[in-house]
A and B are shown apart, each in its own frame.
Chain A
Amino acid sequence: MRASFRTGAVVAVAAAALIMTGCAADSGSEGSADDPIELTYWTWAPNMDKVADIWNAEHPEIQVTVNKQDGGDPAITKLLTAIKAGSGAPDLIQAEYQKIPTLVASDAIADISGAGGSDIADEFPDGVWDSVTLGGDAVYAVPQDTGPMMFFYREDLFAQYGLSVPTTWDEYAETARALHAADPSKYLGTFSANDAGWFAGLAQQAHAQWWSIDGEAWGVGIDEEPTQQVAEYWGGLVQEGVIDNKPMYTPEWNAGLNDGSQAGWLGAVWGPGVLSGNAADTAGLWKAAPLPTWDGDVANGNWGGSSTAVTTQSKHAEAAVEFATWLNTDPEAVQALVDEAGIYPAATAAAASVLTEAPEFFSNQPDFYEVAAQAADAVAPFAYGPNVNVAFSAYNDEFAKAAEAKTVDAFLAAVTAMQQVTVDDLESSGFTVAE
């Protein structure tokens, strides 16, 4: 806020007075049991205070206070406000992967590659690690949980209609046709224009790169072959009418999960929680399988997941990185994350040692977490850009129109429009965009 604004000076000055010069993160001063380093941690995952208690008992010199947040979006909005105000930000914050570039662009989270963040790259799958480095040398967060996508289906209905589990997208289409032909009220799934993260995961599986860093410029690759292929495929199924075109997470969709008119769901590893919450009576009827592949090319996408980032206002970056590393890679901490917070850990080895028993809703499938581990391993690299929010809201609007139009052409046009909106927004904000 510069002095060039004479008008509204009162307000401008008052606001400017509130903005203090940002404190650089200095990572000195060792804590001790008598004078511990105090860290605050904003997170919305349930029961994180219990996980932090384990750390606090073992580390009297670094004490972590968990501050429960309402959810991913409000926590980030709050953090950005604190960053603008110059004070009030916590030391650590839970950040969804797609929020990281926005946070970095607002100078809200710190590069922790120097504070020990780079040493743990091997603990995580490449696809996940890319999301916290944005494909560069910096490290902006420690991965916490991931959402490798999986295919959930009603085993009883598959048996009833003599269907086999699809392993490729061609088979998925065949199965969708067979099911819908056998009972026109039933669908194998729905194309949801409400869930941009879901579509991004499907595109990621097809090796789409929606954002990339090209020297000093951002590349946007939404309207390219992989995403077009995915859109064309789904547009085709919706046009045929063998796949539903209504959004997920509506009362209608919940009713469909319960009464079997939605006989399958392309969800992610956290799916059991959604299914048990929305269709508790169908426990034991569902099974999980890997996402169908494009002609046997073993790859997967992520839907959801978050990381632990250190804010630029933290005065104890090193201690914060130490805690974030412990929280997300130490077997005891990861065990607590699974038991208390119910997440699917990003750390490969720790996850394998901890996740042995299938979730209760899938007690009929003892190998649930083996399927999940395969799914997590196969996640293709994918980096988010600085205006994910714009691209995602463009997805909502454009694909809502396409899903309603029910034509392949409309689906392809939606991809083009998404690219256009995303590039226009980057350019009008002043970002350099590679052609």
Chain B
Amino acid sequence: MSASTRRRAALVPYAMLAPGIVLFALFMAAPIVYTLVLSFQKEVVKGLGLGSGGKSLQFAGLENYVSAFTDPEFAASVGRVLVYGLILVPTMLGLALLFALLLDARRTGAKGFSRVSIFLPYAVPAVISSLLWGFLYLPAVSPFYWVFEQLGWEVPSLLSPGLVVFAIANIGLWGGVGFNMIVMYTSLKAVPQEIYEAATIDGASEWQIAWRIKIPIIAPALVMTALFSMIATLQVFAEPTTLRPLTNSLSTSWSPLMLVYRDAFTRDDIYSAAATSIIIAIATFAISFFFLRVVQRRAFGQED
């Protein structure tokens, strides 16, 4: 092999990687760097701020970060999202696991149909599902409330301030169970049948097989779905934004991302919005890392 062919051979992997690297650099790395740059700037107005030269860009240091951390609205939005996550994540994963186990159980019928109908809501975009649910939540137009009224029940509106978090979690639940169920079901399918046969010969019931064999084996899938769900929780945006015009119970800063959106596009302050989104990104990384550290040994322990 000549030196030039060898050199060419050495370049081949880079050439193959190039499209990926270029796309990543352009559409992931560059915007992140730009956001970082923006977050350290601010726009300052002089006097009336009218006409040309009324505004100038300045270095802001950590000002945007300090104001994000001291903003009571930001803290409140984080608090609301935590409550939302505490309601949504366990319910969603619990139901997903239940459905996955039921679909995997030997005696379950109409598996294909059930699988598709549980999965289907995941294919509905969040904005559409929020509009659909929004209709169902409004007492004046909801068929549910019509039925409650016929039965003479006094059911409070799910869009009232105390209950709206459940209304939003329900939309997330409806859309999210299917996806998580498929992930768990897929890893259940990958479990060799001999294990179950051995368990059955040892006299294990379906319940014991599920509890002592299936769940521990798919623990990595559970960890992964939990992680994804937590990240999605922190980033909840479409559902509350779509429901907001329907009710007095949701503010424009209900979730952290709504706060970022409001600052960037309603208040025209992309600089503090950039700082807040950097904080959210770092927090997401930190939570993911911490969560993985805690559960990793338990979930993946047997494999060592």
Contacts and interface: CB of A to CB of B under 8 A. Distances in A.
A163 interface: no
A11 B30 contact: yes
A431 B45 contact: yes
B251 A250 contact: no
Contacts of B266: 389-390, 392-393
Interface stretch (B51-59, B81-89, B233-241, B280-288): B51-59
A256 B140 contact: yes
Given A397-B252, A404-B161, A77 B47 contact: no
A16 to B, nearest CB: 11
Contact of B248 (A101, A104, A401): A401
Interface in A365-414: 386-387, 389-390, 392-393, 396-397, 400-401, 403-404
A430 B140 CA distance: 46
Interface residues of A, number: 55
Interface string A241-254: 00001110111100
Would you call the interface of chain B mostly helix, strand, loop, or mixed?
A: loop
A312 B36 CA distance: 30
Contact of A425 (B57, B161, B250, B267): B267
B268 A102 contact: yes
Given A8-B34, A107-B54, A252 B248 contact: no
Contact of A193 (B37, B51, B248, B262): B248
B114 interface: no
A299 B127 CA distance: 41
A194 interface: yes
A400 B245 contact: no
B216 interface: no
Closest 5 CB pairs of A and B: A8-B37, A400-B248, A430-B44, A430-B45, A252-B140
Given A22-B52, A105-B45, 15 more contacts: A4-B59, A8-B33, A15-B34, A77-B265, A104-B50, A107-B52, A138-B50, A193-B248, A217-B47, A255-B140, A256-B140, A393-B262, A401-B248, A429-B43, A429-B269
12 contacts: A8-B36, A104-B50, A105-B45, A138-B50, A213-B48, A245-B248, A247-B245, A247-B246, A247-B247, A251-B246, A396-B251, A431-B45
Interface of A: 1-2, 4-5, 7-8, 10-12, 15, 22, 77, 101-102, 104-107, 111, 134, 138, 193-194, 213, 216-218, 245-247, 249-252, 255-256, 261, 312, 386-387, 389-390, 392-393, 396-397, 400-401, 403-404, 425, 429-432
Interface of B: 30, 33-34, 36-37, 40, 43-55, 57, 59, 134-135, 138-141, 160-161, 245-253, 262, 265-269
